[in-house]
Chains A and B, each alone.
Chain A
Amino acid sequence: MDTPTTYFHWGFILISVSNLLVIGGMVVLFAIALVAPFPHPKGADDGDNK
């Protein structure tokens, strides 16, 4: 914990690898949420918009 962290440096972008991994994981999770099938109870009908 007392050693300097590793940084990702690309042009003007400078970010710690740990922060980069968190952001990357969030992007992946968001993409999965868009495409992963959501379980629907059998015979469910549409509720109103409230």
Chain B
Amino acid sequence: MATTSSLEGPTPPAQSKSWTLRLRQAIDRHLPMDHLLPDRQPYYVGSWVYVFGVVTIAALVWVVVSGIVLAFFGPQWWHDSRVGRFFNSLHFWSVQLFFIFMVLHLWGQYFMAGWRSGRAATWMIGVVIFAVSILTAFTGYLSQQNFDAQFIAINAKDAMNAAGIGVFFNVLNFGQMYGLHIMLLPIGVTILVVLHIVMVRTRGVVKPIDPEGGVRP
């Protein structure tokens, strides 16, 4: 039985015409498994400041799981039934924790200048995640199907119209806001978060500024 290695041979991978082979080799080169799932970390990672990022991810998991349950059963269930109200609250409070720990993670990375040594793209993707998350939360407030959602929508519509985006982002249109909130925006946040984590694992955690015996990168 032929193996893949016998097909590859000792030739340099860049000369291969197979895009799957080139892609696999690029992944192996840039993101080997010992970087993706490390069992050791540098000594300076031993601080609670580095925990904020992973707590944000944990909160996001709860947001997504509770959101899937809410989407499955619908607005009447999450308002009328006790279990529905529980999942509604679970969704709301996990969002609060998501934002709180995302901002704490942002503070930590800001003060340690986490964009150093080729990590600017990682930082910028984090900024985009923050912006898309705010939009996701906003459409979530508009999707509650209660007076609060109506109040927010009616007050927000003038701002949207004044900004010139009201024609394709109609906050009074529940179907549009709900679709954005449970489909497009969560997929966007999730993809960006995965990309953010992969980039962190590729470059590693940024070194502290002027570590003992070290040099400024």
Contact = CB atoms under 8 A, between A and B. Distances in A.
B47 A46 contact: no
Contacts of B203: 50
A26 B40 contact: no
Instruction: Pick from B35, B40, B45, B48 the residue with the most CB of A within 10 Å.
Output: B48
Nearest to A38: B46
Contact of B42 (A30, A32, A40, A46): A46
Contacts of B49: 30, 33-34
B43 interface: yes
- For this complex, into which size category does the number of interface residues on chain B fall? 20 to 34
Contacts of B48: 32-34, 36, 38
A26 B47 contact: no
Interface string A30-46: 10111010101000111
B201 interface: yes
Given A26-B100, A30-B108, A50 B201 contact: yes
B51 A33 contact: yes
Contacts of A46: 40, 42-43
B10 interface: no
A29 B200 CA distance: 24
Contacts of B104: 26, 29-30, 33
Interface residues of A, number: 17
The interface residues of chain A, by DSSP majority, are classed as loop
B178 interface: no
B46 A33 contact: no
Contacts, number: 50
A32 B51 CA distance: 12
A26 B42 contact: no
B107 interface: yes
B87 interface: no
Contacts of B42: 46-49
Contact of A47 (B38, B47, B51, B201): B38
B204 interface: yes
A41 B5 CA distance: 40
Interface of A: 22, 26, 29-30, 32-34, 36, 38, 40, 44-50
17 contacts: A26-B103, A26-B104, A29-B104, A30-B49, A30-B104, A33-B48, A38-B48, A46-B40, A47-B38, A47-B40, A47-B41, A47-B42, A48-B204, A49-B204, A49-B205, A50-B201, A50-B202
Given A26-B104, A46-B42, 10 more contacts: A22-B100, A30-B108, A33-B49, A33-B104, A34-B47, A34-B48, A38-B48, A40-B46, A47-B39, A49-B204
